[in-house]
Chain A
Amino acid sequence: MQSNAQLEYDYSVVKLFTFTTILFGIIGMLVGVILAFQLAFPELSNLAGEYGTFSRLRPIHTNGVAFGFTLSGIFATWYYVGQRVLKMSLKESKFLMTVAKLHFWLYFITIPLAVVTLIMGITTSKEYAELEWPLDLLIVVWWVLWGVSMFGMIGMRRERTIYVSVWYYMSSFLAVAMLFLFNNMEVPTMFWANGAPSSAMHSISMYAGTNDALVQWWYGHNAVAFVFTTPIIAMIYYFLPKESGQNVFSYKLSVLAFWGLMFVYLWAGGHHLIYSTVPDWMQTMGSAMSVVLILPSWGSAINMLLTMKGEWGQLQTSPLIKFMIMASTFYMLSTIEGPIQAIKSVNAIAHFTDWIPGHVHDGTLGWVGFMVMAALFHMAPRIFKRELYSKSLMETQFWLQTVGIVLYFTSMWIAGITQGMMWRAYDEYGSLLYSFIDTVTVLHPYYTLRAVGGLFYLIGFLLFAYNIFKTMTSGRVLDKEPANASPMAS
């Protein structure tokens, strides 16, 4: 212990990932807003010819926010939280430092490559796994590097017991590795071209039809689980207690919720395929397990809310706490909404409608976005050793974005249910009441409202980026690391 008196945590990799979180966040969300406006005003789809259509841009939005913004945030917080709760510094190991740097740079070149290939229309069409095989191989490399750094850091720890946040990060690493490998089993077709001048980038899935759908949604659902849920829980289990200076309400509950979530989550993938051609028992299982999933999800969320027990005053004084409490509230909302949509009879109406993107966005904007931003706000004074630039800007951002999310999901609820009901409406003679296009034109006001909500969120994110930038460049320099509440200038 005496030997590490001069030793410090190393934040160089944390900083790099913080920058990419903001950069990819801006790009991904901007594309999202453009898409939302394209649905409301379709002429916007044809401004950039082939490269600006809704259909080409959509994978860039989904991949950009999931694997650009969120993954960057996960990696940034991992290198921060990991070092701290394990009580080890990356400075202690040249090897791990190199691995971490390499992890960053390989990741960093993957994202622009992904954007370019997707905009050119090079895609496998499987949602959230659109990237073609050469990029998939690149992803495997840096994913493995992340694992090496993770287990390397754990191996070097001073603290005997591994904190629950690290469990969640480990689960993300392992589960995504498994899911990604199985879902991206693809065969490059150029090896069977038989002399035809075929494209080197093209591949086809190893599975066909119903099997492919099954594997895809087993992946698709759980990519959400292990990118948008478990690492974000890892963040809140560290940042909320740390920022508020409170002990976790119940550590035992956090352990139980962990194992519960790990076991149940994977089963729920079947709810994407209700009333499809996959076997009936699998649909029922997916539906039932989705409902069971409420328990561990709410276990974590309630644990976080109760951590603030007796300290609710902090909610008034600190916008940072506000972000985190709002995040766990949105987590509760989307983890009750999901199971409702997974009930067979509700799914019959909700599936294929805008209620689904509505649900995804309560989770991603409210839970993931807020938590990642809160984590970055908490880390900024520590990694840049400066006071946060503006508290009032944080307040403005908070309300702007909250209003944005509310506009988003309320409009999508109404749009989804309206459309779902119209599709199945019959007149008195037993013929369908509406043609398909009637059910599209009716959505125009909701699409507009949604786009405005998204725009609010994007503006809020730009405020966030500006706030972090000013913190970095002109915040008051701190002489020592703040213990709990992050210092912020009014």
Chain B
Amino acid sequence: MDQETLMTMAGYGKFFILLFIFIIFYGYAFSLYKRQRSGERDFEKYSDLVLNDSLDAAPLEKRDNSKEK
């Protein structure tokens, strides 16, 4: 196999990798907005992490210690 064919294959390879990533990324974006709209999950509330950040404020979501190492 010469350099030319290798480069062509690499080119196609890269194109499909990019296509794949493109699909994943937009699928992710779509799912974020869908879940927000259907009320499955509210993502916007996380910006309260900033507004409510004093040490004695109640955590937005308490950490479930059993799951974490």
The answer to whether A and B touch in the complex, with CB atoms under 8 Å apart, is yes
**Contacting residues of chain A (293-351) with chain B, CB-CB under 8 angstroms:** none
A445 within 8 A of B: no
Q: Which one of A85, A164, A252, A263 contacts B53 once the chains associate, using CB atoms below 8 Å?
A: A85
A161 within 8 A of B: yes
Q: Looking at the complex, which of A3-11, A131-139, A433-441, A452-460 is the stretch in contact with chain B? A: A3-11
Closest A residue by C-beta to B21: A263
B1 within 8 A of A: no
Q: How far is the CB of A340 from chain B (nearest CB, A)?
A: 23
B9 within 8 A of A: no
**Contacting residues of chain B (31-69) with chain A, CB-CB under 8 angstroms:** 32-33, 36, 43-51, 53-64
Chain B residues in 8 Å Cβ range of A426: none
A158 in contact with B59 (CB, 8 Å):
yes
A212 within 8 A of B: no
Chain A residues in 8 Å Cβ range of B11: 281
A238 in contact with B50 (CB, 8 Å):
yes
Chain B residues in 8 Å Cβ range of A241: 47, 50-51
One digit per residue, 1 when the CB lies within 8 angstroms of any chain B CB and 0 when it does not, for chain A 107-146 equals: 0000000000000000000000000000000000000000
Q: How far is the CB of A286 from chain B (nearest CB, A)?
A: 14
Query: How many residues of A sit at the interface, in one of the four size bands?
Result: 35 or more
Docked complex Cα distance between A468 and B25 (Å): 43
B51 in contact with A256 (CB, 8 Å):
no
Given A159-B61, A160-B61, A247-B48: A9 touches B32 (CB 8 Å cut-off): no
B29 within 8 A of A: yes
Q: Which one of B25, B32, B48, B49 contacts A252 once the chains associate, using CB atoms below 8 Å?
A: B32
Closest B residue by C-beta to A9: B55
B28 within 8 A of A: yes
Q: How far is the CB of A242 from chain B (nearest CB, A)?
A: 5
Chain B residues in 8 Å Cβ range of A85: 49-50, 53
One digit per residue, 1 when the CB lies within 8 angstroms of any chain B CB and 0 when it does not, for chain A 85-107 equals: 10101000000000000000000
Closest A residue by C-beta to B49: A163
Chain A residues in 8 Å Cβ range of B49: 85, 159, 161, 163
Q: Which one of A87, A247, A481 contacts B47 once the chains associate, using CB atoms below 8 Å?
A: A247
A247 in contact with B51 (CB, 8 Å):
yes
Given A160-B61, A238-B50: A247 touches B55 (CB 8 Å cut-off): no
Partner-B contacts on A (CB < 8 A): 1, 4-5, 7-9, 84-85, 87, 89, 157-161, 163-165, 237-238, 241-242, 245, 247-248, 250-252, 255-256, 259-260, 263, 281, 481, 484
Partner-A contacts on B (CB < 8 A): 7, 11, 21, 25, 28-29, 32-33, 36, 43-51, 53-64
* CB-CB nearest 4 A-B residue pairs: A248-B47, A160-B61, A84-B53, A163-B49
